[in-house]
Amino acid sequence: MARRPDLVGLTVLAMLSVRNSHPYELHRFIVDTHKDYVTGLPRSLYHAVEKLAGEDLIAPVETTREGRRPERTVYEITDEGRRELSTRLRTLLQDPGPERRTFTAAISLIGVLPVADALKALRGRAAALEGTLAGLNGHLKALEEEGLPEVLVIELDYQRTLSETELAWVRRLVERLEKGELTWTGTVNRELLAQVLDES
């Protein structure tokens, strides 16, 4: 059985690639920007931070205390963490998997990749979806020729419809990126993240 992607860890890496933060700030950002694919807060977030630090993908840079509040450790992403983030995110964008929540997470963090990398991954996803659809169409046609009643394979039609819809959406996104209708400079910048954190 394939290991599920660590979406909480991916989100932490993505946010730290933009701005050094402590776990409470990261928690606020996840809630304020409706990253609803992140579940089990706050425990899952603290667990992810601990795991990423243990793998040297992030590192503590300072510990602060305000008044009577508990100490807060600020983390930064390491060079290895940046490489890991880029690899994980490109893979999730490119390879269609069984869980749609995974693609939702990858799309929500797409701004941490350069536009060219995002485009390449999305084109790869479109090609993979085209292959999936060709396979489903062939399978359904063969079952129909065998005389199998449609009601017994209706789930395959459902899967086909979902794949067709996703492919159409990915193609539109690729077109918008190619035309410059949706763009970002380099990667999502510190000011954008600071704005969200400072207003909450």
Q: Where are the domains of the chain?
A: 7-111+187-199, 113-179
pLDDT at residue 5 in the model: 83
* CATH classification code of 7-111+187-199: 1.10.10.10
pLDDT at residue 173, as a whole number: 97
pLDDT beneath 50, residues of the chain: 1-2, 196-197, 200
DSSP for the chain reads: -PPPP-HHHHHHHHHHTT--B-HHHHHHHHHHTT-TT--STTHHHHHHHHHHHHTTSEEEEEEE--TTSPPEEEEEE-HHHHHHHHHHHHHHHHS--S-HHHHHHHHHTGGGS-HHHHHHHHHHHHHHHHHHHHHHHHHHHHHHHTT--GGGSHHHHHHHHHHHHHHHHHHHHHHHHHHTSS--SSS--HHHHHHHHHH-
Q: What confidence score (pLDDT) does residue 186 get?
A: 56
